[in-house]
Structure 1
Amino acid sequence: MTAPLSSSRSRAALRISARVSAELLLVLAGLAVALWLLGRMWSVVWPLVCGLLMTTLTWPVARVLRRRGWPPALAASVVTVLFLLLLAGVVALIAVPVASQSGELSDGVVEGIQRLREWAAGPPLNIGDAQIDKAFDSAVARAQEGLGSMVGAVVTGVSTVVNGVVTAVLALFLMFFFLKDGPRFLPWLARQLPGRLATDVPVVFARGWDTLGSFVRSQAAVGLLDAVLIGLGLWILGVPLVLPLAVLTFVSAFVPIIGALFAGFVAVLIALVSNGLMDALIVLAIIVVVQQLEGNVFQPIIQSRGLGLHAAVVLLAVTLGGSLAGIVGSLLAVPIAALIAVVWNYVREQLTDPAPGAGEDDPDLAGPLPS
């Protein structure tokens, strides 16, 4: 016979459940308020994010100059001017041609999807169901919207002219000040914070900066290699729109997993429409080979340490970011998830009990510093 439930234990379990639920609701409310404030301050936050991302790319050059004895202001000025010259060259040689061919690229994708639809409707599949037709129509609309957003992100993200000169100027000025005064920020921050926060917050900031810099630089290098190799293969096969497809491949590298699938899908469709089925299959083979080289050769060499995120977490982050903020959310989703993982790992380190006897053998492992 089953023993009756204990009323005292049941009430205690309900109280604990209610308390945990209330705490979760408070955390969710805090996150909602933080997101609302972020949206209200986006005109300031977006230039700050752009400035930080540009600083992660240019900081290695500034660091080399500073180590050679250059004054911080001079090193930051030289790097900023070189970055502006490079930016102007990219706009003139890449962004403008890509923008002029974006309509042709979008039309090619739509035509390729229509051909797939016709193929699916014929033998051997003979799919003619209304739901399938609706799915293909939805795919056409999503391809047009996603491709337009991606090309727009290329143009605005590289030249930062189409969507506002103010954002470009603010981001560049912030990049200059980050390059000039960045190393003094953490010591200054430590002096402003009381007690234990003076130790914890700078450590988290330093780890987050290392993670962000590693992600941006490694993804840029891997994306450039992918764009060059795939673009070379498309050029050899005589596939049109090589430059827009190469730029699309480069930008898609900043959206792990999903970006590579999207860029490869677009390249295969363009090859199918312009060169036929055989060349489309060759393009597919080239993309598969390049992606295998990326995953097994390029990325391990270029990216010395990963973000510590599981592939499922990356997929969920990209999906959530895209649903919340479109292409910008997809681009920023993985770095934000990695920064959250940095904070969580540090908190877990501080809350983990030290191994038995560790405090006796090594005073540095005895636990958190006193406040």
Structure 2
Amino acid sequence: MLMTAPEPPASSAGPTGGARDPRLEVTYGVRVAAWWSVCFVAIVVGVAVLIRLLNSISLVTITVAVAVMITALLEPAVRALTRIGVPRALAGIGVFVVGIAVLGLSMWFVVSQVTDAAGDIQTQLDQAADDIKNWLITGPLELSEHDVDEYTTSLGDTISDNRSSLVSGFLRTATSAIGVISGSVFCLFATLFLMLDDGSIWRWFVRIFPPHTREHAHEGGVAAWRTLVVYMRSLVLLAALNALAMVPVMMIADMPLVVPMAVLLFLGSLVPLIGVLVAGVIVCLIAFVANGVTTAIVMAVALILIVQLFGNLLNPIILGKFVNIHPLAILVTVTAGTLLAGIFGAFVAVPLVAVINNVVHAVRTHHATIAPAPTGATAGTLDEEA
């Protein structure tokens, strides 16, 4: 039966003939829309304040978020070791040391490769500059050599005139580098503590909630952690597959810096859609500088085919139903995350939306399946488990 609001009386004047109540002149639909608007504005303001607060302590926010995501990637290995009898502390420390060692060796290898090939890249860039200059003179634009030299001189003068701003930008970069170093150290310690934790941090967090909501919070946390673990595992696996599949293509095309370019594709694939697009553009530019337009086109086509193949065939198999987000929603989410928090926002936007979606679904399902219980029963159960 469809419920409707009672109609206001025909005349709302008081018994003494007073003024009509203006609230009764507003229709039911307008009142509902007004309340929805108030709630929506309150939610937007709350989210804006939260984002501003997290941005004011960005060093803590970023390092803790990255530590949680690294822990989600490494924790299954810790759980597998504890399952075969290895103590939790020993398993956590061992996996942490191995993971950091692999990451450090990978970074050292990439930096050494780039350093060794720096001379060749500089030579190729100079050759590319000469080719572009010749194209401007002999190509469709048919510029004179004097005009090309003048434009080149003007560009050099512009760089010279803005040297002070470039130096100040370098100083800002140096200051940011200090923040990156301190944040990296903080992230390492946070990751180690999270991997050594046996769930006490989460149990403490659940006890913050009111007693009658603790079981819902616990179920939501389980769903969130499961989603994050599956997402990180699939993200790293697909990024590695994209990079490894491009290695033979780049080797056949005789491109320089094959290994650093593969690592760049791996890192770019960690940011859905936008990251792999940026990394692919850089790879195509290197291919254009080194081997010409044809090689750049081949690289672009191969990268598109590989990303689409793995994304459409393997991604649903790896993720299953844990992270079921439409590609358009991913694009909107990554774009919004980039606008709000830059590269970090683009990196965490998709897992954040996936976690929120699965948490809401898990809490609703749990609320619909549990039987009504006396107040305090849930709290007592969780307190006993803690």
Short-chain TM bin: 0.7 to 0.9
User: In structure 2, what is the Cα distance between the partners aligned to 1:350 and 1:74?
Assistant: 35
Q: Residue type of the partner of 2:99? A: F
CA distance in 2, matches of 1:64, 1:102: 43
Pairing 1:241–2:264 present: no
SS at 1:164 equivalent: helix
Q: CA deviation at 1:285?
A: 3.1
Instruction: Work out whether residues 219 and 366 of structure 2, in 8 Å CA contact, stay in contact via their aligned partners in 1.
Output: no
**Which residue does 1:60 correspond to in 2?**
76
SS in 1 for 2:52: helix
Map residues 181-260 of structure 1 onto 2, 5 A cutoff: 181-260=197-276
Q: What is the 5 A alignment of 1:111-190?
A: 163-190=179-206
Partner of 1:285: 301
Once the two structures are aligned, what percentage of the paired residues are identical? 29
Structure 1 residues 321 and 122: alpha-carbon distance in aligned structure 2, compared to 1, 3 A threshold: farther
Larger CA deviation: 322-331 vs 237-246: 237-246
Cα pair distance change 1:233/1:163, threshold 3 Å: farther
Aligned to 1:262: 278
Cα distance between partner residues in 2 of 1:308 and 1:99: 41
Aligned partners of 1:95, 1:368: CA distance in 2, in Å?
A: 60
Higher gyration radius (CA)? 2
Aligned counterparts of 1:32 and 1:300: Cα–Cα separation in 2? 34
- Structure 2 CA distance for partners of 1:19 and 1:317, relative to 1, 3 Å: same
Change (3 A) 1:179 1:233: same
CA distance in 1, matches of 2:72, 2:116: 30
TM normalised by structure 2 equals 0.70
Consecutive unaligned residues of structure 2, counting only runs of 5 or more, are: 1-7, 11-23, 142-175, 376-386
Q: Find the residue that maps to 2:27 and give its secondary structure.
A: helix
Quote the Cα distance in structure 1 between the aligned partners of 2:235 and 2:117: 25
Where do residues 307-318 of structure 1 align in structure 2 (5 Å cutoff)? 307-318=323-334
Question: Which gives a bigger RCO, structure 1 or 2 (Cα 8 Å, sep 6+)?
Answer: 2
Question: How far apart are 1:162 and its partner, in Å?
Answer: 6.4
Structure 1 equivalent of residue 355 of structure 2: 339
- Alignment check: 8 A CA contact 1:350 1:367 kept: no
1:102–1:244 Cα contact (<8 Å) kept: no
**Length, aligned pairs only:** 312
Q: Unmatched 5+ residue regions in structure 1?
A: 1-5, 124-159, 355-364
For the pair 1:83 / 2:99, whether they are aligned, the reply is yes
- Give the one of 287, 292, 304 matched to 1:276: 292
- The one-letter amino acid of 1:265's match is V
CA distance in 2: counterparts of 1:220 and 1:22, whole angstroms = 42
Q: 1:346 to 1:101 in 2, by over 3 A?
A: farther
Match of 1:16 among 8, 17, 32: 32
Deviation, 1:192, is: 4.8
Mapped contact 2:216–2:363 kept (Cα < 8 A):
no
**Cα contact 1:189–1:202 (8 A) shared by 2:** no
Shifted more, 284-293 versus 33-42: the winner is: 284-293
- Following TM superposition, by how much is the alpha carbon of 1:247 offset from its aligned partner in structure 2, in angstroms? 1.8
Match of 1:362 in 2: none
Deviations 1:261-298 (A, max 9, x none): 33333323322332123322322332233123312433
Match of 1:152 in 2: none
Residue 74 of structure 1, CA deviation: 1.3
For 2:117 and 2:209, locate their aligned partners in 1 and report how far apart those are by CA, in whole Å: 52
**d(CA) in 1 for partners of 2:179, 2:113:** 18
CA distance in 2, matches of 1:100, 1:342: 47
Q: SS in structure 2 opposite 1:196?
A: helix
1:8-51 CA distance string (max 9 Å, x none)? 68532222222221111111111111111111222222221121
In 2 relative to 1, CA 369–44 (structure 1 residues): closer, same or farther, beyond 3 Å?
farther
Please identify, of 64-73 and 280-289, the stretch whose mean Cα deviation from structure 2 is larger. Answer: 280-289
State the match for 1:134 in structure 2: none
Contact persistence 1:240–1:274 (CA under 8 A): yes
Q: 1:317 to 1:370 in 2, by over 3 A?
A: farther
Shift of 1:73: 1.3
1:74 and 1:306 map into 2 onto residues whose CA distance is 30
Conserved? CA contact 2:113–2:257, under 8 Å: no
Task: Name the residue aligned to 2:164.
Answer: none
